[in-house]
Structure 1
Amino acid sequence: MSYSRQATLSCDNNSDASCSVEAALSIISGKWKLKIYKILQQGTPVRFSMIAKGLGDVSEKSLSFQLREMENDGLIARTVYPEVPPRVEYSLTDLGKSLQIVFESLDVWGKAYIKANKLGV
């Protein structure tokens, strides 16, 4: 059976108690999503080119896909200005901002894991 992100986000076919955790991990997983989140959490809207510059080695296709997925999930807002050339800015939604506590908890856990396993030495 192949992986279906939509099926992961819906607990209709998965009554397992961990379904909501799987859905949350599906929303935030992706090679660039955490790094995109960090760039956008500064608070001011950011243009595509600045996100790409902040990420470094990312293709436009990959970045566009990740941004589109985050927008569809309600984590970011995309604002298009009717200008020539077009200007597009991205910012976190309230739902996206609410992830901050999740990432802070993961940061604390990650540091404890590294310390316990002496991975930072």
Structure 2
Amino acid sequence: MSAHGDVDLGHTVAGWTGTAIGLTGLAVTGLAVIAVSLPLALLGAGILAVAAAATWVLHLLGWGKPSGVRPPEEWSWKVRDRAARHGHRDCLGCRMAGRRPTAAVAPGPVPLPEPTTAAVAVTTTAH
């Protein structure tokens, strides 16, 4: 059990990669502010754009995770999401890529058995 309890924090290859590239971009941008350098600031902004693109592409390749809770056997960052190619429900990244999950087909009406009437034995008794 972790310090956060028994929950899935969404540690994925896409998340870690995007975070690492993004932190590099922020460091370069911070250095640009200190050095008052427009080219360095533009480089930092470019690295941040690469971070967003890399995270998105990895998510679409199945190295991200859908929104919501996953079963414990899928919590490892090494587990690839096989359903990603069809799109995740309520996922902006999947919608931007044109992946819309197929709506679950509502089950048709289930035919009910014909009502049976209990045969009531009517006995006539003569009085």
Considering the TM-score relative to the shorter chain, is it more than 0.5? no
Normalised by the length of structure 1, the TM-score is 0.28
Normalised by the length of structure 2, the TM-score is 0.27
Higher RCO (C-alpha under 8 Å, 6+ residues apart):
2
> Which protein has the larger Cα radius of gyration, Structure 1 or Structure 2?
2
Instruction: Point out the structure with the larger strand share.
Output: 1
